[in-house]
Amino acid sequence: MDYSGSIMKKQWFVPAAAAVLLSCPGSCAGTPSFSSVQGKQWKLVEVKNNPAAAELLPDPIRFDRSKLKTEGMDDIFVLTFSSSAQVSGKAAPETYTASYERGTGQAVFLKQVSSDHVERDLVPERLREADYFALLEGISRWDYKEGKLELYSTSPDGQEVVLTFVLD
C-alpha cells in the first residue's frame, strides 16, 4: 500500500491549521475576551430587536455615521468601557457615566446611568436619549462578532434588543 498521499495531507494540514488559529483576533475557539473591547470608543450603528421580538422595533434603527459626521453629530451615541469598571460616553447630546459589573461568561450589567442635564433633546434616527439610557441599563450580556460589539438589552417592556457598535 502507498501511504505517501496521507502523509502529504498531514504535512500541509498542520501548518495550515496553525496559520488559521494564529490569524484569529481574540479567541476563535471560544468566547472573546472583554479586554478586547475595553479602552476603545464604540459608536452605535444599529438598534434592533432580537428576531423573536419584532413587535417592539419592526424596523431596525440604523445610524448613518457619515451623515451624522457631516451634521456635526458624529460623537453621539458612543460608549467606552474602561478597565476600572466604568463606562462613559455621549448620548444625544448629554455625556453619561455608569459603572458596570462583569458576570460569568459574557454577562455584563450596567448600573444606573447618570448624565449631565441639557435642555435640548435630539432624536437622531428615531432614538430618544432616554430610551438609549434605558437600554443601557437593561444590558445583560455582550458579544464581539466580525469587528462589532453587540450589547444585548431588555427593554422596559421586556423585549430583547441588540445594540450594535463599531469602532471609528
Give residue-wise pLDDT tens across range 60-90. 888 888 888 888 888 889 999 999 999 999 9
Please state whether the peptide bond connecting residue 32 to the residue before it is cis, i.e. omega within 30 degrees of 0: no
- In 3D, which of 34, 119, 126, 138 has the Cα closest to residue 77? 126
- In 3D, which of 167, 113, 115, 121 has the Cα closest to residue 139? 113
pLDDT tens profile 112-127? 899 876 655 666 667 8
Does residue 86 belong to any structural domain of this protein? yes
- Structural domain of 134: 30-167
Does residue 99 belong to any structural domain of this protein? yes
Residue 45, domain CATH? 2.40.128.270
Does residue 51 belong to any structural domain of this protein? yes
Does residue 24 belong to any structural domain of this protein? no
Does residue 81 belong to any structural domain of this protein? yes
Does residue 73 belong to any structural domain of this protein? yes
Least confident interval from 1-15, 37-51, 87-101, 147-161: 1-15
Give the count of domains, the chain. Answer: 1
Higher pLDDT: 99 or 50? It is 99
Does residue 93 belong to any structural domain of this protein? yes
Does residue 127 belong to any structural domain of this protein? yes
Across the strands, what pairs with 101?
Answer: 109
